[in-house]
């Protein structure tokens, strides 16, 4: 069943329709909003298009690093599994922290 999600990011509003459930879509939106806010803070960029582009790039970078770590674990390419597990755990904790920051910025669970 398709769900509708209204997006309002960087002064642009639009609606998307997706087959994912509503809770998942709102979770992804919250993560992206948090990533956008972090990009604005660390870069000082003010132009919405540039912020969105840089945010997308940074998210792809993080995704590929996690994916590469998981592939290395699966392929046994690294000698110390505990080092890999620690790296994945550290990245996961950083992502959780960023999500928690976003939730605090947007008023906790009332947006979900």
Predicted confidence band of residue 112 (pLDDT cuts 50, 70, 90): very low
The whole-number pLDDT of residue 110 equals 47
pLDDT, tens digit (0-9, with 9 covering 90-100), for 51-90? 999 999 999 999 999 998 888 877 775 556 667 778 888 8
C-alpha dist (Å) from residue 110 to 24, 53, 100, 104: 15, 28, 13, 10
Number of structural domains in the chain: 1
* Closest among 58, 55, 54, 65 to 33, alpha carbons compared: 55
Phi/psi at 8 (nearest 5 deg)? -140, 95
- List Cβ neighbours of 98 (8 Å cut-off, separation of 6 or more): 31, 34, 35, 38
Return the sign of the alpha-carbon dihedral for residues 99, 103, 108, 112.
negative
The whole-number pLDDT of residue 40 equals 94
CB atoms within 10 A of CB 35: 22
The pTM (predicted TM-score) of the whole model is 0.61
Query: Which of residues 100 and 27 earns the better pLDDT score?
Result: 27
Q: How far apart are CA 101 and CA 25, in angstroms?
A: 18
Domain hosting 84: range is 3-111
* Residue 102 contacts residue 27 (beta carbons within 8 Å): no
**Partner residues linked to 12 by β-bridges:** 9
pLDDT, tens digit (0-9, with 9 covering 90-100), for 79-108? 566 677 788 888 888 888 877 777 676 655
């Amino acid at each position: 069943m398709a769900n509708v999600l209204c997006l309002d990011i960087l002064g642009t509003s639009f609606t998307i329709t997706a087959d994912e459930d509503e809770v998942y879509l709102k979770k992804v939106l919250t993560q992206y909003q948090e990533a956008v806010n972090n990009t604005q803070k660390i870069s000082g960029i003010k132009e919405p298009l540039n912020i969105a582009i840089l945010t997308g790039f940074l998210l792809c970078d993080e995704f590929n690093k996690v994916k590469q770590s998981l592939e290395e674990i699966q392929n046994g390419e690294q000698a110390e599994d505990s080092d890999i597990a620690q790296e994945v755990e550290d990245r996961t904790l950083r992502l959780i922290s960023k999500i928690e920051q976003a939730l605090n910025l947007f008023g906790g669970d009332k947006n979900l």
